């Protein structure tokens, strides 16, 4: 298929682009490089620098590429920043996303795969989190993604757009050539690996008194190659739908640090800090629906394998894409 990957110069998009190309798809990338990197775009893909904010150029890119499907990774994705600057989140994640959808309708592009998030649920009543749980986001980031999911439902009903929304839990890991290099890194695993590389003195643990076995928060880490596979399966989905996506296993912050010590063989110092507001103790995905309906099966089940892949990438590119 011919696919337009929007946000394909970012962390998850770059790996998806690579995996799509490996499976023989034709790929064009649209990204404004506000967060992504030109060097993160696989050379086999064509690249167009552009901003979804610009309706006219978005439409002309879609009309030129004529993709059979669009994958939409482009978003602002920092929870803390969204609490300080909600406007940025509603503009980029909802209004700019609408520009993309309208351009798709106008250019006649029938399929859409959307990067949603477990943040749409807010603190869950129970774990694992399945698709039947109520959605009660507690920050503008999660709310913006939930609003966009609602928009998708209406575009499906009114314009016949076929969509799959994938609500990722914690994306992690790397392939040989593509990994995680955010300008502001808030994710645990790259921050731990920066300590292992001697680029940071310690890793911060926010909250050590949660009602979990070791007192630290538990999250569900999913390897980005498995995430990418879910996107590729989504291209063949017969029905539109929403799917939670994680490996279903939970690892605490301390367990992640301990596993990283084992994988890297390096000293990793920690600094214990108070809880951050709005961090639920446990976020674990129930991914039965996507397994059942799209035949998804994660290959990277162990945290060790996920961290190993990220460690290899960070050693190869210690300065990220600046190398």
Q: Which residues are catalytic?
A: 141
- Work out whether strand 2-6 and strand 69-72 pair parallel, antiparallel, or are unpaired: parallel
Long-range contacts for 319-322 (Cβ within 8 Å, ≥24 apart)? 320/37, 320/179, 320/181, 321/37, 321/39, 321/40, 321/181
Nearer to ligand NAD, 130 or 215 (CB): 130
Given candidates 4, 12, 69, 71, which one binds ligand NAD under the rule CB under 6 A? 12
Regarding 47 and contact with ligand NAD (CB under 6 A), the answer is no
Given candidates 2, 38, 46, 53, which one binds ligand NAD under the rule CB under 6 A? 53
CB of 168 vs ligand NAD, minimal distance in Å? 4
CB of 120 vs ligand NAD, minimal distance in Å? 10
Tokens of 1: 């298929």
Regarding 35 and contact with ligand NAD (CB under 6 A), the answer is yes
Regarding 61 and contact with ligand NAD (CB under 6 A), the answer is no
Tokens of 64: 């030129």
Q: How far apart are CA 268 and CA 45, in angstroms?
A: 38
Task: Evaluate whether 224 touches 15 at the Cβ level (below 8 Å).
Answer: yes
Regarding 144 and contact with ligand NAD (CB under 6 A), the answer is no
CB of 126 vs ligand NAD, minimal distance in Å? 20
Q: Which stretch binds ligand NAD (CB under 6 A): 73-81, 207-215, 231-239, 287-295?
A: 73-81
CB of 72 vs ligand NAD, minimal distance in Å? 7
Beta-ladder partners of 163:
112
Question: The tokens 């690892």 sit on which residue?
Answer: 251
Tokens of 315: 């050693």
φ and ψ at residue 308, rounded to 5 degrees: -55, -45
Site for ligand NAD in 89-118 (CB under 6 A): 92, 96, 115, 117
Draw the binding track, 161-200, toward ligand NAD (x: CB under 6 A; -: no contact): -------x-xx----------x------------------
Regarding 13 and contact with ligand NAD (CB under 6 A), the answer is yes
Regarding 32 and contact with ligand NAD (CB under 6 A), the answer is yes
* ∠ Cα 313 314 315 (to 5°): 90
φ and ψ at residue 62, rounded to 5 degrees: -65, -40
Q: Edge-to-edge, what's the strand order for the sheet holding 241-245?
A: 46-49, 26-31, 2-6, 69-72, 111-117, 162-168, 241-245
Q: How far apart are CA 187 and CA 216, in angstroms?
A: 15
Given candidates 52, 196, 217, 225, which one binds ligand NAD under the rule CB under 6 A? 52
Regarding 87 and contact with ligand NAD (CB under 6 A), the answer is no
Per CB under 6 A, residues contacting ligand NAD are 7, 9-13, 31-36, 51-53, 73-75, 77, 92, 96, 115, 117, 168, 170-171, 182
């Amino acid at each position: 298929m011919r696919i337009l990957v929007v946000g394909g110069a970012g962390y998850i998009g770059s790996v998806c682009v690579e995996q799509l190309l490996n499976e023989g798809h034709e790929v064009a990338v649209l990204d404004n490089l506000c967060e992504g990197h030109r060097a993160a775009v696989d050379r086999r893909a064509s690249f167009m620098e552009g901003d979804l904010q610009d309706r006219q150029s978005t439409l002309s890119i879609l009309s030129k590429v004529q993709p059979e499907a669009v994958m939409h990774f482009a978003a602002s994705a920092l929870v803390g920043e969204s609490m300080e600057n909600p406007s940025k989140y509603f503009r980029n994640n909802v209004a700019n996303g609408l520009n993309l959808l309208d351009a798709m309708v106008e250019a006649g592009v029938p399929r859409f795969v959307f990067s949603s998030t477990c943040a749409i649920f807010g603190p869950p009543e129970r774990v694992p989190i399945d698709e039947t749980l109520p959605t009660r986001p507690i920050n503008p980031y999660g709310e913006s993604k939930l609003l966009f999911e609602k928009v998708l439902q209406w575009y499906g009903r009114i314009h016949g757009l076929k969509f799959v929304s994938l609500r990722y839990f914690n994306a992690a890991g790397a392939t040989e050539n593509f990994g995680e290099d955010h300008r502001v890194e808030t994710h645990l695993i790259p921050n731990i690996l920066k300590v292992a590389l001697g680029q940071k003195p310690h890793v911060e643990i926010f909250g050590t008194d949660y009602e979990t076995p070791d007192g630290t928060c538990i999250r569900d880490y999913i390897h980005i190659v498995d995430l990418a596979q879910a996107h590729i399966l989504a291209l063949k989905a017969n029905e539109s739908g929403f799917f939670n996506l994680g490996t279903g296993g939970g690892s605490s912050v301390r367990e992640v640090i301990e596993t990283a010590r084992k994988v890297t063989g390096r000293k990793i110092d920690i600094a214990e800090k108070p809880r951050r507001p709005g961090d639920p103790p446990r976020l674990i995905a129930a991914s039965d629906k996507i397994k059942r309906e799209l035949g998804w099966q994660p290959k990277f089940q162990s945290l060790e394998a996920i961290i190993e892949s990220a460690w290899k990438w960070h050693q190869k590119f210690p300065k990220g894409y600046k190398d």
